[in-house]
Amino acid sequence: MASGKRFKIACIGAGNVGAACAQYCLDMELGDVVLTDVVEGVPQGKALDLTEAGPVRGYSCMCTGTNDYKDIAGADVCVVTAGLPRKPGMTRLDLLEKNGNIISDVCANIKKHAPDSIVIIVTNPLDVMAYVAYKKLGFPAKRVIGMAGILDSSRMRSFVAMELGCSMKNVDTMVLGSHGDDMVPLPEYTTVSGIPITKLMPKERVDAIVERTRKGGGEIVALLKTGSAFYAPGASAARMVESIVRDEKQILPCAAYLEGLYGLKDVYAGVPCKLGKDGVEDIIELELTADQKAALHKSSQEVQSGIDGLKQVGIL
Ligand code: A3D
């Protein structure tokens, strides 16, 4: 392990995304992984399977599975994927109440057993669940972060590479706002080896890529028919873990608690964050056009109405 310290990563929720995240964390040798779930046998079985992949893949990090939160004690990072995935025809907001209760329960256990951890929320509706976690945990905001922007921007990067027939590695982009159809992909900040994509393809193709990015989650739900994407979401959460445990200070789009930046207050939204050993160590405020600013505020209104909904049913 890079720094010499052996890190402990708790993946809470051992479903598709949780297990994929665990797999990527182990493969990158980020730390020992504890898979936690309410279903008996599933975290234990997946953990044993992932451990048995170690000799083949060449990692020496251990993976254990449990139904007991005591086993997350001392975790440095908790990745929370516990909840229900979006099903075809279901909006993110349909999930609000059920997942709000699950996140509340998970956070009570994190607070009790891993009070010094950095918490990455993946459960949908993402920005509202990150807010619930922040309120329930009572941790400093920099230690409660939502994963969405890395996934959304990775989707956009793939679509740009597919369009140009170039390496995905050369494509960089930024997606702001909430995780949903109202997200704000930024073509103006999208480049291929430093070249703005607006110089590499016509406007209609840029617009089509922006639209496909916005609908990226739904595209996979429609294909899979049961469940939603998990490889790219798991990889995206693992990328956040990597930047934290290795203190890499990568600038990544993450859902962060805003207290005035971008004109937003007391809400979570996707913004460029510097991720390091303390969590969100800085937030970069980009210069936006009036349209982009309006789109960002529109996407936050939906998050705000989700928060208001949870206040009405007493979860917040
Ligand atoms: P799934 O494979 O169903 O896994 C969810 C797991 O959570 C299951 O194993 C459940 O048993 C477990 N669980 C339920 N309640 C609890 C609890 N109280 N404590 C511990 N574990 C519990 O779903 P998935 O892995 O495909 O998706 C997980 C979540 O991530 C869903 O809310 C998805 O919508 C969300 N997700 C978000 C993104 C983003 O980009 C934000 C992407 C993909 C999935």
pLDDT value at 89 more than 80: no
Q: What pLDDT score does 180 carry?
A: 86
CA 189 to chain centroid, in Å, comes to 21
pLDDT value at 80 more than 50: yes
Q: What pLDDT score does 227 carry?
A: 84
Residue nearest to atom 4 of ligand 1 (CA): 15
In a domain, 2, yes or no: no
Average the pLDDT over 165-171 and give the result: 97
Task: Mark whether 124 and 48 lie in a shared domain.
Answer: yes
Q: What pLDDT score does 44 carry?
A: 98
Task: Mark whether 242 and 154 lie in a shared domain.
Answer: yes
> Residue 279 belongs to a domain with what CATH number?
3.90.110.10
Task: Mark whether 300 and 170 lie in a shared domain.
Answer: yes
Q: In this predicted structure, which of 81-90, 119-128, 260-269, 284-293 has the lowest mean pLDDT?
A: 81-90
Q: In this predicted structure, which of 190-204, 216-230, 240-254 has the lowest mean pLDDT?
A: 216-230
Task: Mark whether 153 and 142 lie in a shared domain.
Answer: no
CA-to-CA distance for 161 and 2, rounded, in angstroms?
31
In a domain, 180, yes or no: yes
Element (H, E) at 100: helix 96-113
Residue 94 pLDDT level (bands cut at 50, 70, 90): confident
What does residue 270 show for φ and ψ, rounded to 5 degrees? -75, 125
Q: Which of 146, 179, 211 is the last residue of a domain?
A: 146
Q: What pLDDT score does 1 carry?
A: 43
Task: List the beta bridge partners of residue 210.
Answer: none
Residue 268 pLDDT level (bands cut at 50, 70, 90): very high
Residue 2 pLDDT level (bands cut at 50, 70, 90): very low
Task: Mark whether 165 and 304 lie in a shared domain.
Answer: yes
**Gyration radius of the chain over CA positions:** 19
Average the pLDDT over 289-299 and give the result: 95
Q: pLDDT tens for residues 23-57?
A: 999 999 999 999 999 999 999 999 999 999 999 99
> In this structure, which amino acid lies at residue 29?
E
> In this structure, which amino acid lies at residue 254?
C
Q: Considering the chain, what is the average pLDDT of its residues?
A: 95
Task: Mark whether 95 and 233 lie in a shared domain.
Answer: no
CA–centroid distance, 90 to ligand 1, in Å, is: 15
Helix, strand, coil % in the chain, rounded to nearest 5:
50, 20, 30
In a domain, 200, yes or no: yes
Q: What pLDDT score does 313 carry?
A: 87
Task: Mark whether 166 and 307 lie in a shared domain.
Answer: yes
Task: Mark whether 115 and 207 lie in a shared domain.
Answer: no
In a domain, 56, yes or no: yes
How many of the other CB atoms lie within 10 Å of CB of 108?
13
Element (H, E) at 161: helix 149-164
> Residue 115 belongs to a domain with what CATH number?
3.40.50.720
The count of structural domains within the chain is 2
Q: Which residues line ligand 1 (CB under 6 A)?
A: 12-18, 37-39, 81-86, 99, 102, 105-106, 122-124, 126, 147-148, 151, 179, 227-230, 233
- DSSP symbol at 85: P
Distances (CA, A) of 66 to 24, 43, 110: 19, 6, 14
- DSSP symbol at 87: P
Q: What pLDDT score does 226 carry?
A: 86
Task: Mark whether 165 and 269 lie in a shared domain.
Answer: yes
Average the pLDDT over 162-189 and give the result: 95
In a domain, 63, yes or no: yes
In a domain, 41, yes or no: yes
Q: What pLDDT score does 95 carry?
A: 80
Task: Mark whether 285 and 173 lie in a shared domain.
Answer: yes
In a domain, 1, yes or no: no
Residue nearest to atom 27 of ligand 1 (CA): 85
Element (H, E) at 46: helix 42-57
pLDDT value at 17 more than 50: yes
In a domain, 190, yes or no: yes
Share of the chain above pLDDT 70, in %: 97
Average the pLDDT over 165-194 and give the result: 95
- E strands of 50-92, at which residues? 63-66, 77-80
Strands 191-192 and 171-172: antiparallel
Q: CB of 101 within 8 A of CB of 315? A: yes
Range of the domain at 205: 149-312
CA–centroid distance, 46 to ligand 1, in Å, is: 15
